[in-house]
Amino acid sequence: MIEVKNLRKTFPHKDTHNKKAEKVAVENLSLTIGTGEIFGLLGPNGAGKTTTIRMLTMLSRPTSGEILYDGRHIGNADDARQIKQMIGVVPQNLNFDQDLTVGENLELHARLYHMNREEREARIAELLEYVELQNVINDGVRQLSGGMKRRLLIARALIHRPEILFLDEPTVALDPQVRWRIWELVRRLAKDGATVLITTHYIEEAEELCDRVAIMNKGKLIDVDTPQNFINRFGRFVAEWRDDVHRDFRFFNTREEARQFIGTIDAASSIRKSNLEDVFIELTGRKEGL
C-alpha cells in the first residue's frame, strides 16, 4: 500500500517583477493506493502529476509531507533502498540503448540489479514471452514498432519483479489496436498481484482500466473515486449542444430529463451517456492536455 500524507512541493522562481518567489507545484496532497489496485492520476498540464510521480519514485524530494510504502518511509535511507526494489518505472520517453538488441537491453538492466547469469537468462525469457516479444530478442531496438517498444519498456521495468509499477503515458501516440494490447497487459499485471499507477492524457483509458482515479488541478487534489461512481454522482446522461464556436453540456440523471432540457434551447444538440471525460472537464474546466 502507498500512503501519501500532506505532500507539498515548491520550486524557487522569479515573479513578474523579477523578484525571488515560490512556485507551488503540489499542495497538501494526501492519497492512499491499495495493494493490487490500478490507480489513475489525472489532471490538465500543470496540475502536478509529473511532480507527484517524481516524488513517489524518489527522483525529487518533497518540500514537506510523507510518502510510505507498506509503512516504509522514503526519507529513511534503509527504507528507501528497500522501496527502490519494490518499484518499477515505465517512462513516457523511450530511453533504451539504441545500439543494443532487445535481449541486450534487458540483460544490461538485469545486471544493474545484480542478478546472476542463470537468473538473468530465465527472467529475460519469461518476460519476453509475457509481453509477446520472444521472437525479436536478437533484433535491434530501432527495428521495433512503437507498440513493441512500449511493451519492451514494461518488460524492462519488471525485470526485478517489482510489486508496484508506475506507467507514465503508456500508450501515447499508439494506434487503437496497440493500445488495447497494452491495456490487456496492464490488466494481467494487476491480476498477477502488481499495484499499478498510471498517468494518462487519454481519459477513456483511465475509465477503461482504473479501479480508482484521482483528479488534480493546479497542484491540488480535487477528488478521488471509481470512474463509475464519478459518472453516477454527476449524472448518467449528458445533453450536449454547440454553436459555430462553443460546445457546452449538462448532466442529467435520466434521458427524459435531458430530452426536456434539449427542448428548451435553440441550438444543434444531442443526448448521450456521460463518461469520465465529461466529469473531468466539469471538475477542472479543461480538456486533458490543454
Q: For residue range 66-108, what is the model confidence (pLDDT) as tens digits?
A: 999 999 999 898 899 999 999 999 888 888 888 899 999 999 9
Of 120-129, 144-153, 217-226, give the lowest mean pLDDT range. Answer: 144-153
What is the predicted pLDDT for the residue at 46? 87
15-19, 180-184, 269-273: range with highest mean pLDDT: 269-273
pLDDT for 75 equals 87
Domains along the chain with CATH numbers: 2-226 (3.40.50.300), 230-284 (no CATH)
Q: What is the structure's pLDDT at 288?
A: 47
pLDDT in tens, 126-155: 999 988 899 999 999 999 998 899 899 989
Res 287: pLDDT: 55
Compare 173 and 206 and report the one with higher pLDDT: 206
| pLDDT exceeds 50 at position 115 | yes
The pLDDT of residue 14 is above 80? no
- Residue 286 pLDDT class (50, 70, 90 cuts): low
Cα torsion at 33, 48, 77, 197 (round to 10°)? 30
Alpha carbons 168 and 60: distance in angstroms, whole number: 16
Do the beta carbons of residue 196 and residue 186 sit within 8 Å?
yes
DSSP lists the bridge partners of residue 22 as: 12
pLDDT for the residue numbered 160: 92
Q: What angle do CA 256, 261, 263 make, to 5 degrees?
A: 100
User: Rounded distance, CA 179 to CA 170, Å?
Assistant: 9
97 contacts 108 by C-beta, under 8 angstroms: yes
The pLDDT score that the predictor gives to residue 290 is 39
Look at residue 114 and tell me whether its pLDDT is greater than 80: yes
Q: What is the pLDDT of residue 289?
A: 44
Q: Average the pLDDT over 225-232 and give the result.
A: 97
- For residues 193 and 162, the answer to whether their CB atoms sit within 8 Å is no
